[in-house]
Amino acid sequence: MMKKLIAFVFATLCATLALAQEAPDALVKQVTEEVLEIVRKDKSIQNGDAKKAIDLVDAKVIPHFNFQHMTALAVGKDWRKASPQQQQQLAAEFKTLLVRTYSNALTSYKDQKVVYKPFRMNAGDADVLVRTEVQQPGNKPVQLDYSLEKLDTGWKVYDVNVAGISLVTNYREQFGQEIRNSGIDGLIKAITAKNKSLEGNLAKADGK
Amino acid sequence: MMNRSVTWKSRMAVVLAAGMIASGGSALADETPGDPLEGFNRAMFAVNEGLDTVAIKPVAQVYDFVTPLPVRAGVGDFFGNIADIRNVLNNTLQGKLADAGNDLGRLLINSTIGIFGLFDVASELGLEKHDEDFGQTLAVWGWGDSSFLFWPLLGPRTVRDTGGWVVDVYTDPTWYTLNKSVAARNSLVALRFVDVRADLLPTDKVVEEAALDKYAYVRDAYLQRRRNQIFDGSPPRLEDILD
């Protein structure tokens, strides 16, 4: 009995480890397909239910992102000037902003298909780029690339590139401006205020 | 007709001159690197937002609503085919001869089997498109970074890309050879303009919600996208702050 239990625990452990060590391209593909499959079946998300889209992204996508790194990239050199507590606050607010705004993309889903580009990595690489392309009838395909890094907890996305535009570094000048004008705390305040106003919109849409 | 093309040319000269003056102009208050003309640009951006709200966006929304998907696809493919002329030319000028040959093949196939470009048969056959314009050619020839400019209607450009755009207009049959029929030319140019705007409709909401400062967001997205285009989709990495 005990032997069986140990074997079972060991097997589960191996499976978990295997999942954490999953190749980055396979991870991107698995998460993308899983989310698209849910959206394809969910009429309320397709009809613009933003809350539901946010919940879906929170549950399925966010665990694979490293928001600390993303926020550092978005803030740039001023990141080092922020206290650990400020960094934490910044990362939390930035995460809320990104999730809110880009979950919206799911609500405008219309028969898009994601094609995975050939992926190459060398053994021991800890920082890779996974390239995909979103194809939609009647429109040009859109390049969609993910930068991933290998952490102890597995591969994590730290940047997303749409048509060559990094959703993360595209904030650098705006954040820099806020910091120049009113410091790190000013930036935290500005993102928090933005999130509050988006939340207001969400509540309004809900009340309809 | 002669007259019209002269007005057209002089209008472009004015635009270019304005660009030159603007680019040599004063460095305004809060200067962002790469955007010394921020004051002028923000004013133009506001003008454009106004125009878009009252006229352009509503037209694009109606167009988007009434045009069935196959027609939309046909319009996109038709102008895409015309753009392949520009692609052949600029791939050649950049020394990307394989891409130029490929895009020439696309042009021939789509103009014939694809019925004047209404169907993108070449893509179905696996001939990939390589978007190049004269602004990118100038960048490949060594005109690196250039001041950002925001034009009403034309939208974001840099000084380099504004110059590139003028050359693109001259190599674009929509503007050029169709001068013979001004009405046809104007209709085509307007249709393409509305079609492009309609393609951007889904991104409106995202930009609106994502940006702390919409002007800066649009500017930086434009600059990043151009960098990506100039390096054909694989730009060298920028420094990572945590490294």
List, for residues B128-152, the tens digit of each pLDDT value. 999 999 999 999 999 988 999 999 9
For A91-103, b/e burial (b = at least 16 CB within 10 A) is: bbbbbbbbbbbbb
- CB atoms inside a 10 Å sphere around CB B135: 26
Task: Kindly determine whether residue A170 and residue B80, on different chains, have CB atoms separated by under 8 Å.
Answer: no
Choice among A126-130, B133-137, B168-172, B181-185 with the minimum mean pLDDT: B181-185
Q: Is A182 on the interface with B (CB under 8 A)?
A: no
* Token pair listed for B187: 């209709």
By CA distance, what is A79's nearest residue in B?
B241
| B73, B225, B227 member nearest A138 (Cβ) | B73
Indicate the pLDDT class of residue B28, thresholds 50, 70 and 90: very low
Residue A109: strand, helix, or coil: coil
CA–CA separation, A89 and A71 (whole Å): 10
Give the largest CA-CA distance in chain B.
61
Q: Is B203 on the interface with A (CB under 8 A)?
A: no
CA–CA separation, A47 and A53 (whole Å): 11
Give the model's pLDDT for residue A69: 95
Give the model's pLDDT for residue A13: 58
**Cα separation of the two ends of chain A:** 58
- Is the pLDDT confidence value at B7 over 70? no
Q: Which amino acid is at A45?
A: I
CA–CA separation, A9 and B117 (whole Å): 62
Task: Kindly determine whether residue A164 and residue B228, on different chains, have CB atoms separated by under 8 Å.
Answer: yes
Give me the sheet containing A127-135, strands edge to edge.
A113-116, A127-135, A142-151, A154-162, A165-166
List, for residues B182-217, the tens digit of each pLDDT value. 888 888 999 999 999 998 888 888 899 999 999 999
Distance, C-alpha B240 to centroid of its chain: 30
Choice among A62-66, A144-148, B125-129 with the minimum mean pLDDT: B125-129
Give the model's pLDDT for residue B2: 42
Q: How many Cα atoms sit within 13 Å of B234 on the Cβ side?
A: 4
Read off the DSSP letter of residue A117: P
Write out chain A residues lying below 8 Å of B242, CB-based. Answer: 69, 72-73
Mean pLDDT of B124-131: 91
Average pLDDT, chain A: 87
- CB atoms inside a 10 Å sphere around CB A37: 10
CA–CA min distance B11, chain A (Å): 32
Write out chain B residues lying below 8 Å of A69, CB-based. Answer: 242
Contacts of B130 (CB under 8 A, 6+ apart): B87, B91, B96, B99, B102, B103, B232
Q: Which long-range contacts (CB under 8 A, 24 or more apart) does A63-67 make?
A: A64/A27, A64/A31, A64/A154, A64/A155, A64/A156, A64/A157, A65/A95, A65/A156, A65/A157, A65/A158, A66/A149, A66/A151, A66/A156, A66/A157, A66/A158, A67/A91, A67/A92, A67/A94, A67/A95
CA–CA separation, B57 and B203 (whole Å): 12
Q: Is B72 on the interface with A (CB under 8 A)?
A: yes
